[in-house]
Every structure is written in C-alpha cells, then in structure tokens.
Amino acid sequence: MSEHAVFPRLRKKLDDAITYGTRQEALALAQEGVRRAKAAGAEGETEYFKAQVHIIRRQFVTAIEHLDRAIERNPRDGAAFNDRALCMVELGLIDEAMPFFDRGIAVEPDYATIYHNKGWLLNNIGRHTEAIRCFSKALELEPCRPVTYDNLADAQMNLGDAPGALASYRMVLALLKPGRCKGIKKQIRERIAEIERSKS
C-alpha cells in the first residue's frame, strides 16, 4: 500500500475517534497524519491533518486557515469543506457555514459525513424535515453509521414521529460495536425507555 493510500484510512480512523473515542486518541491520530503527510510530501493532507489538531484543541480560527490551504491544494476535498463549515458553526457563523457544506457536497457527492453534518446543523436550527433528507442521504451512502441514526432519531422526535425515532434509536444500539461506547448506549437506552413510557 502506497503512503498516499494510507490517508483515507487514517482519516476514517480519526473520524471514528472523534465521534466515539477519546480526545487523546483523536489527537494522536491527527498528529500521526501530520507526520506521515509531511514525510510523503502530501501538502494538502499535511494541511488537513494540521487543521484536525487545531480542531481537537478547539482552535477554530487557526484550523480554518489550514483548511483553506488544504482546499487550495485539493479543491475536491469534501472533508476539508465539511470541517471548515463545522469550525464556522463553532465560531457562531451559522449562516456563513451552510454554503461550505454545499460546496463540499458539490465536489464530493459520495461523502456521507458531509450530509450527516449538514443535517445536524439543519436540525439544530429548526429545519427538521430538511435535516431528515440529509440524514437519509448519508445513510444511503453509508448504511451502518450509528451516529447518523442517533441524529435522525432526534430530528424525528422534533417532528413528533416517535415510532420512527424508536426504530432509529434501536438501529444505533444494533450498529455500535460491542464493548465500546457504553455511555452512549446507556443514553440511547434511556431515550428509548422515555419514548416507550410516553406512549403508555
């Protein structure tokens, strides 16, 4: 496997660590990405992984600077557009963030994470039906994403669809790896119990 072929796998591991792992685990993977990208002379990947280090440290302005350089070197990097949008959300620039999700979708339409994150933002600003469409697209591309089912359930609850939310929450439990994410599983079971109590 060439060094350049390692980067998609490393990005996936980093995304999983950010979503389900610890901050230390994610930081170690981001720093490994920087080292390996520098060694391979992959400037776009170097900037991308540097941005991840700053995102994990909650240094969003600096992360955006690196993401802009990553996009300049690789204008078809949907993940860089996605992460730039997320940094803007963290900085309170909600309206300005949405076009970066859309630009990322335009250049990398098969990247499930960007649909998930656009859906997350839409759900948080009250656009629940649009959010569900984004989550559905993410799941069409990557059917085994527990985090997307979790967010889909939240949007379904916001629209009063308790049966749909129950089904989505049950998918989260079915898809989470055994022995991991015990806290998340506990929260999901509590939400399921709450919905079932409200139905009786």
DSSP secondary structure, 8-76, as one string: HHHHHHHHHHHHHS-HHHHHHHHHHHHHHHHHHT-HHHHHHHHHHHHHHTT-HHHHHHHHHHHHHH-TT
Q: How many residues are there in the chain?
A: 200
Q: What is the pLDDT of residue 3?
A: 52
Whole-angstrom Cα Rg for the chain: 18
**pTM greater than 0.75 (yes/no):** yes
Question: Between 43-56 and 78-90, two packed helices, what is the crossing angle to 10 degrees?
Answer: 30
Q: What is the pLDDT of residue 1?
A: 42
List the Cα angle 146/21/119 in 5-degree steps: 40
Each residue's pLDDT, cut to its tens digit, for the chain (200 residues) gives: 445 578 999 999 999 898 888 899 999 999 999 999 999 999 999 999 999 999 999 999 999 999 999 999 999 999 999 999 999 999 999 999 999 999 999 999 999 999 999 999 999 999 999 999 999 999 999 999 999 999 999 999 999 999 999 999 999 999 998 877 888 899 999 999 999 988 76
The full DSSP string for 9-20 is: HHHHHHHHHHHH
Residue type present at position 171: M
In the chain, which segments carry CATH 1.25.40.10?
Answer: 132-200
Domain 1-77 carries which CATH code? 1.25.40
- Topology classification of domain 132-200: 1.25.40
